């Protein structure tokens, strides 16, 4: 902005005389000027240019609009843009001169040719009214969220920041759409917008011991006297029998030697599962397993829950090693075999038996058992070898069956507890996602990267993602590593696909003149109480467990009766409920005293009932107080205290059927449904 000579003379401290060096001049080239020059006094001739140049890292090569945008922000350009913008036609038609401004809360006025909006909050004096400039569509995205000085705030803060000075039809929905499809915000994330966990998938119970082995490594640990710094851990998936072997290095050759030594004692497994470590994915490791006839399986990358049993054993082992070193003051490698023995003979909560009992068929002889034998002085009973083998096999078979039942019960409880906070999400090939990938040069740090495209869906939780800008052009990722990427097109499509019957309850880009007082109607309060519209927009996800024919039948049936699934409750016209009080005198009760917060809640509830026809103003001599009853979800239920009315109400001679009769009549039915009225007392007039 070049200073006017008169302004420079009046304000020398603002426009000092100085020399600008070449380095400073280059630095000022990228300075962003946000001065609102059309608000200046009319006697000064100033012109402000809003020059927006996105950083090089945020430029989308597929988007041709990512170049620097030069917008003239002077008064003449603003007035011309306001009059030519089709989205502002309702506002222009409703505008009145400044002299003809009425006392309405919301009005559009002309001030020096600029279209402005006058807005006054409820119960606020006219002196505190807010004057907002009605902004054309060309200036909205940059001013709303994309400008470097916007801070990439959330929807509420961005909306409040803009609404102090500017306005356009559908401001709140536009701001919400801008924030949701912002590339930087989606990558950076928000503290309250974590990726929801997928529902837990239970690991199938394997029948035979050592049929499936899980491998992993621990370390680096403090180097022992013998030079060991790592621990190779193996665990049987069926019996949870652990083995821990110290290693000096994590190379594939050292790991293969320990695996062969383990298999020489317990036999060759059918399947070996590991994570995606380079020592496990090497050609040598794969070739050795192939020669041994073992099937090799990899866990999902960056998803340790795939082998959670072994990871939980690592936590226990590290705690025991730390305690052993402190207590015995010895090297951790010396106590590793003894601590592993202690874990094997401990009863597992999920199995009901110790791993040693499920593998060897008897209790391992430990110091406690040795002490018990010395105190009881029992003599061993000799038995026939055939009887011993038969009894041993029968005992081991029963123990395995009981362990399987215990494990199924424990897994069911774990899934029930875990799925309380999980969300079922489904991606289709071609969808855009952000992927949690390791930071280059630091494998232990990860951040969201992308956007990338879903190539293939392997299961409910595993997807193949195309990563062309990475060394691996495609990779398998777990659902917990994926975050849906929202673009401007998809955000707009989600709004446009809303059923018209529910468009008022969903955040929509469609502009309603009622919101801005362009029609003669009082402002409406939020009427959303149910979440039916969101469910209807995502029926495929909720009906994914059904076959295609059943899913189609349900969708067609619901489409024929869409009025039953509105977000706003309705009243019935089938019956009416009469309260017969006979010739009793009207009951009168004063309202209860409540704090200001509850008073506002009660006012909003009354406005909701009046707005939707559930109640109407009355001058009746009957009076009963209202109160708020707290609910389990921290909200309140609006109730009326009709104790006095009920005391004079004539009872019904034909009450409801007994619960026993209802059970006898409906107990044999395959399906039993119930109706839960949101505003039951008012929905039945």
Q: pLDDT (tens digit, 9 = 90+) per residue, 227-265?
A: 888 989 988 888 888 888 888 888 888 888 888 888 888
Q: What crossing angle do the helices spanning 171-180 and 155-163 adopt, rounded to 10°?
A: 140
Round to whole Å and give the CA distance between 3 and 473. 54
| pLDDT tens profile 387-401 | 666 776 676 666 677
Chain mean position to CA 4: 53
- Above 60 in pLDDT, residue 33? no
Same domain, 600 and 556: no
For residues 671 and 563, state if they share a domain: no
Tell me what the pLDDT averaged over the chain comes to: 73
Question: Does a structural domain hold residue 455?
Answer: no
Average pLDDT over residues 576-582: 78
Question: Once rounded to an integer, what is the mean pLDDT over residues 475-495?
Answer: 73
- Choosing from 139, 155, 177, the residue where a domain stops is 139
CA 37 to CA 362: how far, in whole Å? Answer: 88
- Whether residue 226 is found in the same domain as residue 113: no
Q: Are residues 318 and 227 both part of a single domain? A: yes
φ/ψ region of 613 (left if φ > 0, alpha if ψ in -120 to 50, else beta) reads: left
Number of domain units in the chain:
4
**pLDDT attached to residue 145:** 59
- Whether 464 is in a domain gets the answer no
Decide if pLDDT at 468 tops 80: yes
Neighbours of 50 (CB within 10 A): 19
One domain, residues 244 and 105: no
Q: Same structural domain for residues 31 and 105? A: yes
pLDDT at 124 over 50: yes
Partners of residue 131 on adjacent β-strands: 118
Same domain, 631 and 542: no
Report if residue 245 sits inside a domain: yes
Percent of the chain that is helix, strand, coil (3-state, to 5): 40, 15, 45
Own/partner long-range contacts of 105-111 (Cβ < 8 Å, ≥24 apart):
105/517, 105/523, 106/516, 106/517, 106/523, 107/517, 108/134, 108/516, 108/518
Task: Say what the pLDDT of residue 510 is.
Answer: 36
DSSP string, 603-662: HHHHHHHHHTTS------S-B--EEEEE-TTS-EEEEE--HHHHHHSPPPSS-PPPHHHH
Q: Does a structural domain hold residue 635?
A: yes
358: closest CA among 388, 310, 398, 324? 398
CB 306 within 8 A of CB 300: yes
Domain C-terminal end among 312, 344, 362: 362
537 and 620 belong to one structural domain: no
List 247's β-bridge partners, or say none: 230
Distance between CA atoms of 392 and 357, rounded to whole angstroms? 11
Closest alpha carbon to 530 in 493, 564, 567, 558: 567
Whether residue 201 lies inside any domain: the answer is no
Does residue 680 or residue 90 have the better pLDDT? 90
The reported pLDDT for the residue numbered 23 is 57
pTM reported for the whole predicted model = 0.46
**Distance, C-alpha 182 to centroid of its chain:** 17
Q: Which domain holds residue 116?
A: 5-139
- Residue where a domain terminates, one of 362, 383, 405: 362
- In this structure, are strands 212-218 and 114-119 parallel, antiparallel, or unpaired? unpaired
Strand partners, 132: 117
Cβ atoms of 79 and 40 within 8 Å: the answer is no
Sheet strands (E) in 49-177: 49-52, 69-72, 95-97, 106-111, 114-119, 130-134, 166-167
Is the separation of the CB atoms in 302 and 478 below 8 Å? yes
User: Is residue 313, in this structure, part of any structural domain at all?
Assistant: yes
Does residue 222 sit in the same domain as residue 358?
yes
Residue 552 confidence (pLDDT): 82
Beta carbons of 266 and 298 less than 8 angstroms apart: no
Average pLDDT over residues 368-397: 66
Beta carbons within 10 angstroms of residue 167's beta carbon: 23
Residue 357 lies in a domain: yes
Average pLDDT of the residues in 348-360: 75
Phi and psi at 422, nearest 5°, equal -90, 160
In this structure, is residue 298 part of a structural domain? yes
- N-term to C-term CA, the chain: 67
């Amino acid at each position: 902005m070049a200073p006017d000579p008169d302004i420079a003379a009046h304000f020398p401290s603002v426009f000092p005389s100085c020399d600008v060096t070449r380095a400073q001049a280059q630095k000022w080239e990228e300075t962003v000027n946000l001065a609102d020059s059309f608000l200046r006094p009319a006697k000064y001739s100033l012109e402000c240019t809003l020059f927006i140049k996105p950083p090089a890292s945020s430029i989308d090569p597929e988007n041709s609009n990512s170049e620097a945008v030069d917008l003239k922000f002077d008064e003449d350009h603003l007035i011309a843009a306001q009059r030519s913008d089709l989205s502002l036609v309702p506002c222009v038609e409703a505008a009145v001169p400044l002299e003809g401004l009425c006392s309405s809360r919301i009005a559009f006025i002309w001030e020096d040719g600029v279209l402005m909006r006058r807005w006054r909050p409820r119960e606020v004096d006219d002196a505190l009214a807010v004057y907002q400039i009605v902004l054309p569509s060309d200036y909205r995205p940059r001013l709303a969220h994309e400008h470097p000085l916007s801070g990439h705030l959330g929807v509420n803060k961005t909306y409040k920041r803009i609404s102090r000075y500017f306005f356009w039809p559908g401001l709140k929905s536009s701001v919400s759409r801008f924030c949701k499809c912002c590339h930087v915000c989606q990558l950076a994330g928000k503290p309250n917008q974590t990726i929801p966990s997928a529902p837990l998938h239970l690991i199938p119970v394997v029948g035979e011991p050592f049929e499936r082995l899980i491998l992993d490594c621990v370390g680096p640990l403090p180097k022992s006297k013998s030079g060991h710094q790592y621990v190779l851990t193996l665990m049987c998936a069926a019996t949870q029998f652990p083995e821990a072997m110290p290693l000096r290095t994590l190379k594939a050759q050292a790991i293969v030697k320990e695996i062969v030594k383990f298999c020489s004692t317990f036999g060759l497994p059918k399947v070996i599962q590991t994570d995606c470590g380079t020592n496990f994915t090497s050609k040598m490791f794969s070739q050795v397993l192939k020669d041994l006839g073992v099937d090799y399986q990899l866990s999902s990358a960056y998803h340790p829950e795939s082998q959670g049993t072994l990871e939980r054993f690592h936590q226990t082992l590290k705690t025991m090693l730390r305690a052993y070193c402190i207590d015995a003051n010895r090297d951790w490698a010396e106590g590793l075999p003894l601590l592993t023995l202690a874990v094997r003979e401990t009863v597992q909560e999920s199995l009901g038996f110790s791993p040693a009992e499920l593998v060897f068929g008897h209790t391992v002889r430990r110091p406690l058992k040795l002490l018990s034998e010395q105190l009881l002085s029992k003599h061993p009973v000799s038995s026939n070898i055939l009887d011993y083998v038969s009894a041993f096999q029968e005992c081991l078979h029963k123990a395995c069956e009981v362990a399987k039942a215990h494990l199924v019960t424990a897994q069911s409880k774990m899934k029930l507890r875990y799925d309380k906070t999980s969300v079922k999400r489904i991606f289709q090939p071609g969808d855009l996602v952000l992927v949690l990938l390791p930071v280059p040069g630091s494998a232990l740090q990860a951040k969201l990267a992308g956007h990338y495209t879903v190539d293939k869906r392997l299961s409910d939780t595993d997807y193949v993602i195309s990563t062309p800008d990475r060394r691996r052009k495609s990779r398998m990722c777990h659902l917990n590593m994926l975050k849906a990427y929202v673009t401007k097109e998809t955000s707009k499509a989600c709004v446009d696909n809303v059923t018209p019957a529910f468009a008022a309850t969903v955040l929509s880009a469609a502009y309603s003149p009622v919101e801005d007082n362009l029609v003669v109607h009082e402002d409406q309060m939020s009427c959303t109480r149910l979440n039916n519209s969101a469910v209807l927009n995502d029926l495929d996800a909720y009906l994914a467990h059904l076959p295609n024919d059943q899913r189609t039948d349900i969708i067609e049936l619901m489409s024929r009766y869409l009025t039953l699934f509105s977000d706003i409750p309705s009243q019935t016209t089938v019956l009416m409920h009469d309260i017969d009080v006979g010739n009793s005198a009207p009951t009168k009760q004063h309202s209860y005293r409540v704090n200001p917060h509850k008073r506002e809640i009660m006012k909003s509830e009354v406005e909701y009932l009046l707005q939707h026809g559930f109640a109407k103003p009355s001058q009746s001599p009957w009076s009963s107080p209202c109160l708020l009853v707290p609910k389990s979800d921290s909200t309140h239920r609006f109730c009326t205290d009709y104790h006095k009315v009920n005391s004079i109400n004539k009872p019904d001679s034909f009450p409801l059927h007994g619960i026993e009769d209802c059970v006898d009549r409906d107990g044999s039915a395959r399906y039993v449904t119930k109706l839960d009225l949101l505003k039951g007392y008012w929905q039945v007039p």
